[in-house]
Amino acid sequence: MAIKYTIQGLLIYAALAVYAVAFVMMVLRFAKLGRVLYLIGFAFMIIAFGYRWYDVQHIPLQNLFEVFLALGMLVYPLSLFSRRLLQVGGEAVDMLIGVVLLIPLGFVFSAEPQKLPPALQSWLFAPHVAAYVFSYVIMAKATVQAVCQLYCTSGPVDKQQISFELGTYRMVCLGFPLLTIGLILGSWWGKLAWGDYWGWDPKEMWSLASWLVYITYFHFRYMYGKKYPRINSLLVILGMIVIVITLLWVNLSRLFAGMHSYAT
């Protein structure tokens, strides 16, 4: 645990506080106030991300600190997009996801800027990581819908919204192309930087496993989805567990040391 006494740190803490208060407001049914606060938190995160970009002189998506900075910024636009265009709710939980993302960002990860090692100096760096960052946030939201499908006794509060099962499906459909493209761009980059498009590296194996879990979900839902909706939801939750391992465990533990290890 280390508190960051920098402008960057203060912006993150401000966003964290605002997200948390917004969540409490939503729970207390002050939805309008909650949404205004959510927007303010988003503004703080944009400034924090822009400041970081300016500070390190390249797209800040190199290490866990920078990736979580992006994740914490992206929850707001995703909530808005999902509610307006996909009729998928769960804004209050999105705020909570924001809080959960900002706590390690503010207190655990090191903000020490790093110079890019040779292998990371490629134009594929930004799109590869950005595609994954987007898809992970979307899959987190899909997982919330899946958990609601399993445990919520009634449907969504807002009658305009679709069922949790369909909500899960729409979120996975939104995130899956990005997950696929992230994998393919990574493979292409691997060919340029390391010599082979597939290196059998632990992180690659975990990311392949997460992709395959969602493939299983699509095929199972196509065959038996209406009959066993609970299994659909369990598969989406399993996908998220594998994603969390891919993102964190591989970087944080020495158990899986491999070629992706510089992204500490």
- Tally the residues of the chain: 264
Distance CA 179, CA 175 (A): 6
Q: Is there binding between residue 243 and other proteins (CB under 8 A)?
A: no
Does residue number 258 form part of the binding site for other proteins (CB under 8 A)?
yes
Q: Is 174 in the site for other proteins (CB under 8 A)?
A: yes
Structure tokens at 48: 């924090």
Q: How far apart, in whole angstroms, are the C-alpha atoms of residue 48 and residue 69?
A: 8
Q: Residue 127 interacts with other proteins (CB under 8 A)? A: no
Q: How far is the CB of 168 from other proteins (least distance, A)?
A: 14
Cα separation, 224 vs 261, in Å, equals: 40
Amino acid (one-letter) located at 97: I
Please report, as residue ranges, which positions from 69 to 98 form the binding site for other proteins (by CB under 8 A).
85
Asked whether the beta carbons of 28 and 22 are under 8 A apart, the reply is: no
- Segment contacting other proteins by CB under 8 A, of 5-13, 100-108, 134-142, 253-261: 253-261
Q: Which of 73, 90, 176, 243 binds other proteins (CB under 8 A)?
A: 176
Q: Can residue 136 be called a binding residue for other proteins (CB under 8 A)?
A: no
Residue 256 in contact with other proteins, rule: CB under 8 A = yes
Residue type at 228 in one-letter notation: Y
Residue 154 burial by Cβ neighbours in a 10 Å radius (0-12, 13-18, 19+):
exposed
Residues that bind other proteins (CB under 8 A): 85, 115, 117-119, 121-122, 173-174, 176-177, 180-181, 184, 187-188, 191-202, 205-206, 208-209, 212-213, 215-216, 219-220, 223, 242, 250, 255-259
